[in-house]
């Protein structure tokens, strides 16, 4: 069958262009420029993460000390809660928080499974969680329990901004679409954290995380960090 003259002309042009050394050189330059842009973007993000997390750890040291003392006085035991979370490309890492629950909280969680208020069922959320201590309610409301994650940021396991790192058990229930959240370094704050936090259904959390990934930039990170301040002060959706 004879090709349409227009189609044949375009085909010949395409083949000729691909063979032309000048065309191949220009294409390599474009690819190199794109790779350089991506690398600089990640470098800039890492510099921001390292500088802000280090400065914050130094400035917030008194808050760390007071919080640790208050936790221990109310419910003696480790003041930090360490979990295994899933980071970039499925890599597991040790995730730090101030302990806001009683010592045997993980065992009690199994008994509370029927009271899970997360509609999707992938994550566990309960507004009146009996495991949370009095001090825990305060530090959760103002996200003080999340401050130790600055250590994760400094180590490079996390970023200041990015999707929240899930538990391995949660990832096991992810769909292929939801697993795309693992294609970027997890963060302390994200779009749904400044839009209602735990009040945001899981499906909407995924949607907002994907929205962030598709439009990620240094400027957007700075804007999200600024939006995090009023979100933390109001305590909306924190439980």
Average pLDDT over the chain, rounded to whole?
Answer: 82
214-235 pLDDT per residue, tens: 887 888 888 888 888 888 777 6
For the record, the structure tokens of 239 come out as 């439980």
82-98 pLDDT per residue, tens: 999 999 999 999 999 99
Domain ranges, ordered by start, for the chain? 44-100+134-234
pLDDT over threshold 80, residue 120: no
Beta strand 187-189 pairing with 159-161: parallel
| pTM metric for this prediction | 0.76
Residue 14 pLDDT grade (very low, low, confident, very high; cuts 50, 70, 90) = low
Could you give the angle at the alpha carbon of 21 between the alpha carbons of 15 and 24, nearest 5°? 75
- Helical H segments across the chain, by residue range: 5-19, 21-59, 61-74, 105-111, 134-141, 149-155, 168-171, 202-214, 218-234
What CA–CA distance (Å, rounded) separates 42 from 217? 9
């Amino acid at each position: 069958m004879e090709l349409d003259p227009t189609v044949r002309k375009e085909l010949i042009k395409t083949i000729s262009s691909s063979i032309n050394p000048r065309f191949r050189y220009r294409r390599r330059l474009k690819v190199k420029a794109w790779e350089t842009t991506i690398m600089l973007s990640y470098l800039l993000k890492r510099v921001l993460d390292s500088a802000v997390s280090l400065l914050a750890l130094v400035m917030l040291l008194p808050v760390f000390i007071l919080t640790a003392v208050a936790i221990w006085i109310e419910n003696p035991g480790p003041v930090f809660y360490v979990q295994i979370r899933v980071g970039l490309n499925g890599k597991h890492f040790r995730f730090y928080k101030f302990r806001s629950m009683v010592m045997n909280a993980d065992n009690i969680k199994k008994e509370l499974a029927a009271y899970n208020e997360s509609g999707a069922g992938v994550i566990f959320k309960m507004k009146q969680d009996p495991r949370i201590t009095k001090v825990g309610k305060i530090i959760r409301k103002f996200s003080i329990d999340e401050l130790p994650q600055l250590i994760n940021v400094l180590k490079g396991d996390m970023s200041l901004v990015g999707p929240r790192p899930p538990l391995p058990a949660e990832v096991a229930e992810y769909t292929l679409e939801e697993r795309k959240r693992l294609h970027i370094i997890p963060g302390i704050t994200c779009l749904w954290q400044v839009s209602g936090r735990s009040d945001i259904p899981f499906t909407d959390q995924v949607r907002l995380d994907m929205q962030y990934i598709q439009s990620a930039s240094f400027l957007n990170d700075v804007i999200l960090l600024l939006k995090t301040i009023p979100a933390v002060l109001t305590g909306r959706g924190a439980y």
